[in-house]
Amino acid sequence: MKKIKIVTIGVYGFDEAGFFNALCNAEIDTFCDIRSRRGVRGATYAFANSKRLQARLAELGIRYIYRKDLGPTKAVREKQAAVDKATKTAKRKRTELGEVFIEAYHTECLDAFDSQSLLDELASDAKVVALFCVETAPEACHRSLVADKLAKTFNLEVEDILP
């Protein structure tokens, strides 16, 4: 098996130039979008909406993969929203996932996820793969759960890029 490095990145907290510079500085060659919905509200993060994002990545020579199977379902997201509401935590201010979300995400997504299928989808020359969602803190986002599963399954290094 080829040795790859996993990098996680969210969009919140970055401006457009900073986001794409961070990808280039980390030498990302493959960008794996694991959002349920590939849009971000508001002009600040319009660059992360699917079509614009894919066009900019293509300009930079970074391959784009979309894995909807890794995006949390509406039911799973609603569990986190309930925790956020109960703790009066704004979504963009969340610093960690609730246990109820983690359990539901594992049950609905990760338990059935074939890690090898993601590696098989990568180009043979892939070296640095970014797992992308929106939250700033990896601990507040499902991308950390996916990265953890890949790291444990394949003994891979994981690095988190923060704004």
Please report the pLDDT score of residue 12 as a whole number.
94
Instruction: Give the largest CA-CA distance in the chain.
Output: 46
- What's 89-144 look like in SS3? CCHHHCCCCCHHHHHHHHHHHHCCCCHHHHHHHCCCCCCEEEEEECCCCHHHCCHH
Note the pLDDT tens digit of each residue in 2-25. 689 999 999 999 999 999 999 999
Q: Would you give the end-to-end CA distance of the chain in angstroms?
A: 32
52-66 residue pLDDT tens? 999 999 999 999 999
pTM of the complete model: 0.94
Question: Within the chain, which residues score under 50 in pLDDT?
Answer: none
Query: In this predicted structure, what is the pLDDT of residue 2?
Result: 64
